[in-house]
Amino acid sequence: MGDTATSSSTTAGLQLLQDPLLNRGTAFTEAERDELGLRGLLPPQVETIEQQADRAWRSVEAVEGTSATSRQLAQHITLRQLQDTNEVLFYEVLSRHVEEALPLVYTPTVGAACQRFSQIYRRPRGLFVSYPDRHRLREVLRNRPRAEVDVIVVTDGQRILGLGDQGVGGMGIPIGKLSLYTAIGGIDPARTLPIVLDVGCDDDDLRDDPFYLGWRHPRVTGEEYEEFVDAFVAAVREELPGVLLQWEDFASKNALPILDRYRDQLLTFNDDIQGTAAVVAGAMTGAASVSGTSLREQRVVMVGAGSAGIGVCDRLVQAMVADGATEDDAVAAVHVLDVGGLLVEGQAGLTPAQARYAKSAEQLAGWGVDVERRSELDLLTVVRNVEPTALIGLSSAHGIFTREVITEMASHVERPIVFPLSNPTSHAEAEPQDLSDWTDGRALVATGSPFPPVEQDGARRRVAQCNNVYVFPAVGLGVVASRATRVTDAMLLQAALALGEQSPVRHDPGGALLPEVADMPTAAVAIAEAVARQAVADGVAPEATDEEVAAAVRAARWTPAYR
């Protein structure tokens, strides 16, 4: 009888150590080890979480690799193993080393992790919602690790960063995103759920890899794909009504239609379209202030006509209108290029969202080019004629912001705003150091991936990373705190403006356009409050005073501590 009781106690102790949300590892006290059946299952030393975090980070730093990329991937794996073992400690480590750990947990290292997802797979996390299970989606959702969920991040793996179709490997993105929802926004990790919609993969080499863990089938498209997404959304609404559903890294042809189809039906947004746009608008707000111009005066050239690029243009137009421009004038001031050149009226294949920015022959009169030949409407020609104040890249075309283009731009404006935003680093439209050199340090730069500081005239200047992490965790926090039922455009505009208000360059002309990475959690609180206030104002959240909103945001924040 005694042996049976001991065995049961030991089993319970082992189960506790295997639950990453409950496991405290060596931080279990002597009394807890006796009470919970852990005596002998742990080394005898009892540590504080601070001691554990120091030891864990030392292990991350000690990781070696044959190259910088391989070392970063190995460090990513080490951190993910920690997350799968002791989630509170994982977030304590992230909170202490935000600047160093962020590139390892998310961009750019997460791209390599997605590419090698099947090879580095260790333990399950989240839900794999596969097309063959399309008639059992509610059952799949009911198998989620925790019953209560506040935030879902979902991808179908088709457009992972700038790396193309990664199939089931796209799961690395929702896992990484939700890690930042917690580390930056303070969302309780127990109430988050990463999901990949496995609808096949069109990368033959990946799909035929003997280690590939996804459904080995060409990607489902057309009506079958739409019906599957519809069924998934219906299952989410039935099983988790009120959850925030974030769409991530869907192909351009699907991303905007999905957002348009569901944005008025449930609490949802697309971070690639709306989050990127809000961060760019926030950075633009700071850049405009230091350049001595207003948002409504900006002339923008966008290189990249995908869903993310068009989303940025829409948010900038919204911000310019809020600053006093008419909508027609704001749209006219935005010029968009795709791989063939400037978007023009009558161009075949334009979506309605793209057609909004297509220019007419009348608008291009005086350019001295044949409007019928789009090849003549290349980037240099557009810059020469538009004389833009801001040049933004979401094209994945490495190096397209050439010296000739940038010097032409800089000849017309004193402080050119240049944002090469494509990820990963290898796809960036320009190198920040080159942009500084070509403009004698006058360029106001923000990038999509992290870059080292630029050096100019003996001084080093931090390069702002125009990363969605400045916005989406704060949006999640604001939505959860306010109990919003929808994510409105006005809420995202307020997120952008609140971020712009915290731009260091407003107080230091030599500063960066966005706050330090280490300051992101503090910035997230201010942005979340702005989002929550707007949710109340828009009537999509219960009535609350500004003081009540601020208190709700503080109360909703989860911090890493053993409870």
Binding residues: 159, 248-249, 272, 423, 467
546-556 helix and 472-482 helix, angle to the nearest 10 degrees: 110
Using an 8 Å Cβ cutoff, are 286 and 300 in contact?
no
Pick the catalytic residue from 91, 106, 181, 212: 106
Residues 313/314/317/319 CA torsion (nearest 10 deg): -110
359 is annotated as an active-site residue: no
Q: Which residue in this structure is represented by tokens 């004193």?
A: 414
Which entry of 91, 121, 177, 470 is annotated as an active-site residue?
177
Token code pair at residue 187: 């969302």
Rounded CA Rg of the chain: 24
Give the span between the Cα atoms of 324 and 266, in whole angstroms.
31
Alpha-carbon separation of residue 439 from 346, 399, 410 (angstroms):
36, 16, 6
Query: What's the full length of the chain, in residues?
Result: 563
> Beta-strand (E) ranges in 363-513?
390-393, 417-420, 444-447, 454-456, 459-461, 464-465
Report d(CA 450, CA 308) in Å as an integer: 19
| Amino acid residing at 171 | M
* Residue 106 annotated to the active site: yes
Beta bridge partners of 465: 447
Q: C-alpha angle 155/160/166, rounded to 5°?
A: 85
Helix (H) or strand (E) holding 449: none
155, 174 contact by CB (below 8 A): yes
| Torsion 45-50-55-60 (CA) sign | positive
Element containing residue 273 per DSSP (H, E): none
Which of 16, 85, 22, 95 minimizes the C-alpha distance to 53? 95
Annotated binding-site positions for a divalent metal cation: 248-249, 272
- Which segments of 323-389 does DSSP mark as H helices, in order? 327-332, 352-355, 379-386
Q: Would you name the residues annotated as active-site residues?
A: 106, 177
